[in-house]
Amino acid sequence: MKKNEKLTEQKADLVYLTGERRNIDMEKERSNQRRDSLVARLRASDRTAATELVDIYYEQIYLYLRRLGHDRQVSEDLTQESFLNAWHHIGQLRDGKALDSWLYRIASNVSKLYWRKHKHKEVVGIEGIDIKDSNEGEFDEFGYYEKLEQLKKGIARLPFKLRQTIVLHYMQQLTITESAEAAEVKEGTFKSRLNRALKALRKNIT
């Protein structure tokens, strides 16, 4: 009897998990369809789609620029410039799947251009901007929560290319592939930069 009950429970669990997986897959498919539809409308010069793009991505891009070391006002200005550039060059986006990394690439270039023009300006500390949890364990040894402020200061001191890798992959939660595309480098190059950035942080944070 108990064996039959256990089998019944296992079957019920399997049905539940299968249903949950199906729901997740369906939601992901709907999300992909909405993104592809948005990109198609953008490429057709639909200004309503441009407004939707800003509504969906403004906070992500603004935080990205803040985390690269720009102050609030500059980040706002560069965020607006990034979306204007995206609108004017939407024809370059061939694949809707690349929308996220494409927007980050535009914002990265806007940021780099700003730093070239304002070499005298210092990187603004990223105090008060939380780093999202990561499923990967590279930061565990730092005593993540206890040394969060030290970590932020350490990131702010990194050279732009190394800071960018940490921000893209850990703070913005992009995959290695997406991050490499946003940084306009090969995955191997991005991983190398990421390792160098982590080594620098480990050295400076005790």
The string of pLDDT tens digits covering residues 149-191 is 777 778 888 899 999 999 999 888 899 999 999 999 999 999 9
* DSSP states along 62-92: HHHHHHTT--HHHHHHHHHHHHHHHHHTGGG
The Cβ of residue 93 has, within 10 Å, a number of other Cβ atoms equal to 16
3-state helix vs strand vs coil in the chain, percent to 5 = 75, 0, 25
Confidence class for position 142, pLDDT limits 50, 70, 90:
very low
Same domain, 38 and 129: no
Residue range(s) defining the domain that contains residue 78:
11-122
Q: Output the pTM of the full model.
A: 0.75
The string of pLDDT tens digits covering residues 29-61 is 576 778 888 888 888 888 898 899 999 999 999
User: How many domains does the structure of the chain reveal?
Assistant: 2
Same domain, 160 and 204: yes
**How much is the pLDDT for 18?**
55
Place of tokens 């057709």: 44
Confidence class for position 128, pLDDT limits 50, 70, 90:
very low
Same domain, 81 and 150: no
Separation CA 199–CA 183 (nearest Å):
20
Separation CA 117–CA 94 (nearest Å):
31
Same domain, 56 and 100: yes
In a domain, 103, yes or no: yes
Place of tokens 């200005």: 77
The string of pLDDT tens digits covering residues 54-88 is 999 999 999 999 999 898 999 999 999 999 999 99
